[in-house]
Amino acid sequence: KELLLPDGRTIDPLVVVECLGKKEYSSAKDDIGGAGEVTWNEHLFLEPKGVEKESAECGKILIKLMDKGIFKDVLIGEFEFDLSFIYFRKDHVMLH
């Protein structure tokens, strides 16, 4: 049985990751309801080239959860952190 949001709608979520002018998109999932859980199991790679040291040091990574629309996507939520957070992690990656 399909789960519905409190107002009876479902969403088609997708993830957008932005960093230093580059964007990557996950695939969209279909008809997720109020108590639904979504797992993407996808890798998104952002490898900006020719970035100045100053830009990298103050750079941000923005992760957005969007509801995929026909003409316009709608923001559900977002999370932002410094690029240095990834730089100082093992192998310069963030998983899960």
pLDDT at residue 2, rounded to an integer: 45
> Which alpha helices (H) appear in 15-81, and where do they start and end?
53-57
Give the model's pLDDT for residue 5. Answer: 59
How far apart, in whole angstroms, are the C-alpha atoms of residue 96 and residue 88?
17
Dist. CA 11–CA 3, nearest whole Å = 10
pTM of the complete model: 0.77
Q: What is the pLDDT along the chain (96 residues), one digit of tens a residue?
A: 444 555 667 888 899 999 988 899 999 888 777 667 788 888 888 877 888 888 888 889 999 999 888 888 889 899 999 988 888 888 888 777
Longest dimension (CA), the chain: 52
Length of the chain: 96
> In whole angstroms, how far apart are CA 35 and each of 25, 53, 79?
23, 43, 21
Helices (H), 1-96: 53-57, 83-87
